[in-house]
Structure 1
């Protein structure tokens, strides 16, 4: 059997924009934890470090879809250059403010402006969609992107913290900012693979993609999926600490991501023919079922095994979710639609970490995983209720446009 990943990268330009995009999206994982690592060392206050990092993360979650909406209207190169420039300059100001002990408000202002960083995963998937639209290779490309996202989270956070601890507090943020600047520049310069700008038919102004029912369903489901992801990290740290083996947390978290990474690559190679909404239903059901043993894993080996098994459905969920968005969202708002979905993941991770932390503090470390159980069941219920819409049965021709555009 031929290698499907070799096939997708045989298209001219794909290797180059994929490599540049990977570099440009490392700050997704490096920046939030890098801010915490930097400010906790320079200011000695974890609440301040967490507050500044949260300001950046939540603002980016709100701004990124608007940036992607502008990309859909004007093109990647037109929008990414100025927004990335703002983000890079703001990150540099944040680093300077931390190093030079500028007033506290400057930290928050810089973090707020740094949130202009665009959603590179959405830009990459938009390019793959432009090349392989309505072809089976697109599922393989999305599988590769989901696996790459996993690798970013595995390597990015560790690299950021490692640099800050081993060299100097600002090291992680400096490297993250350099990756953002150089990666995005290399990505933007590759005009041959840039998606064409498309417009919604008719004279009605283009509305936001979040008003589309499929985007709402997928985004809500992935809020719950993101919560399971973050809960596993928080609970693993708490449980291994209680067991007297805090260093084992990195191993447990690592096998969680590795399980998802491997299964995602396998799924992309197999390219199953089952309808995407049914594949997604299977994936989130597995996610819900495999979360059930987590609260009962009382040793590090059992915890590692349970976490590994519970992570196998993460990448398949992401792959099929993005595939559905590609099919159910009009071409003129595809980048924004993808960005809303990735935003849902980020919001879920933030909320999951908060709720799991509260559960651990209130009920004990083992009980943090009940958040994963509830979140997994909620994701499965959301996708089950939305099956008709995700299948295109409630839409015109399988595409779910805005009500104004359909009139």
Structure 2
């Protein structure tokens, strides 16, 4: 599958381009505190960036469905990089309102690479098994971003300066976006046309319940990060705050590979509910408050099924969302998980003085997700439609573009025949 045309380029470019999502919050905190400002102000700016980025995803997804990926993502990444580079020029001692505005605007214009990549796979890979494999690999590898990104930002700020960390973050965003957006599938992608009778509203009861359930899954992830910090403080092992999430992410990556190696029984809905149940079971051993080494091993277990949950969530969105608004629907899913994660972090932080409650929050989020999915099962559908993104009309692109397009679309045409 990795030998298929464009796959490594799109997957690798998206991972590079999304590194700033994990680097910017750390870079901003280090930049603000190095300038003598309070940690509270630094944390506020990091939260504003993340919130603005998440809330704007559906809007950017909708715009991509209307105007294509190039017209939306190119201005977005340029503006985002400009804002990050401008922060050192403004300076920590500048007006707090100006710094806050620039950080917030940078979050609003983060390029929607993840949702865009999900929309590209049907045009790149004609085989459903290959798409399932690459989507699982895509989801599983995302955890690596939140291991590499903060470490890289911290190293750049420590070994050089926080200004260098911000500039490097902007450069990586530009590099990754350029790799993806200059590829033929992204340049010539266009959404499926509206059906003559209309494709219906985007938000349905099934999608609302699905997004709420995945927000509960994200809640478990956010609570886990605070629990890891609590474990590190309790056992006086600073490295635990990073090792526990890293173990969880490693499990997610391995689970994605195992999931993609074969075809599993049951519909997408059945797999989604089953993996959510396994996610809940994976958190139960941690309720016994094990020691550091045991906790690291046990953290791998719930991570093994996270990729399966998110991948099947995207497949369910593909089945329920209108053909002409799939990118926007993917963006809503991403927003749901991110919002849930932020809520989990906030609540766990507020309850950090109650370790008995704190250790149970990830399991509580997983239980809520499973309950919602069971309730939503009749609304989620038995399967999913695949390959609904079509090529643009030949008259709308140049002859060279038509040749490039035929190059990567030929396998899909052959499969349809």
| TM-score normalised over the length of structure 2 | 0.86
The counterpart of 1:47, out of the listed 40, 54, 58, is 40
Aligned partners of 2:137 and 2:253 also within 8 Å: no
Shift of 1:233: 1.5
Q: Is the 8 A contact 1:84 1:118 kept in 2?
A: yes
Shift in Å, 1:195:
2.6
Q: Deviations over 1:24-81 (max 9, x none)?
A: 1111211222222222222331110111111111111111110111001110011111
Counterparts in 2 of 1:356-367, with a 5 A limit?
A: 356-361=348-353, 363-364=354-355, 366-367=356-357
Of 355, 359, 371 in structure 1, the residue corresponding to residue 361 of structure 2 is 371
- Which has the higher mean CA deviation after the structures are superposed, 19-28 or 87-96? 87-96
SS of the aligned residue for 1:43 comes to coil
* Cross-structure match for 1:201: 195
The answer to whether the Cα contact below 8 Å between 1:140 and 1:271 also exists between their aligned partners in 2 is: no
Cα displacement (A) at 1:238: 1.1
Moved more, 52-61 or 248-257: 248-257
* Kept after mapping to 2: 8 A contact 1:356/1:369: no
Q: Per-residue CA shift, 1:101-147, capped at 9, x if unaligned?
A: 21111111001110211221111111112233672221111101112
Aligned equivalent of 1:225, options 217, 223, 229: 217
Partner of 1:102: 94
Equivalent of 1:272, from 256, 260, 264? Answer: 264
8 A Cα contact 1:68 1:118, kept in partner: no
Quick one: distance in 2 between partners of 1:306 and 1:276?
Answer: 27
Q: CA deviation at 1:172?
A: 2.5
Offset from partner CA, 1:191-240 (integer Å, 9 cap, x none): 34543233322486x8873x133332222111111111121111111122
CA distance in structure 1 between the partners assigned to 2:7 and 2:127 by the alignment: 18
The equivalent of 2:18 in structure 1 is: 25
Aligned counterpart, 1:70 = 63
Pick closer, same or farther for the CA change 1:98–1:307 going to 2, 3 Å.
farther
Contact 2:49 2:106 in 1 (8 A): yes
Q: Could you say if the C-alpha distance between residues 171 and 273 of structure 1 is closer, same or farther in structure 2, counting changes exceeding 3 Å? A: farther
Are the counterparts in 1 of residues 23 and 153 from structure 2 also a CA contact under 8 Å?
A: yes
The RMSD of aligned alpha carbons is 2.2
1:151 corresponds to = 144
Q: Does 1:388 align with 2:378?
A: yes
8 A contact 2:121–2:131 mirrored in 1: yes
1:242 counterpart = 2:238: no
Structure 1, unaligned runs of 5 or more: 1-7, 400-407
Partner residue, 2:395: none
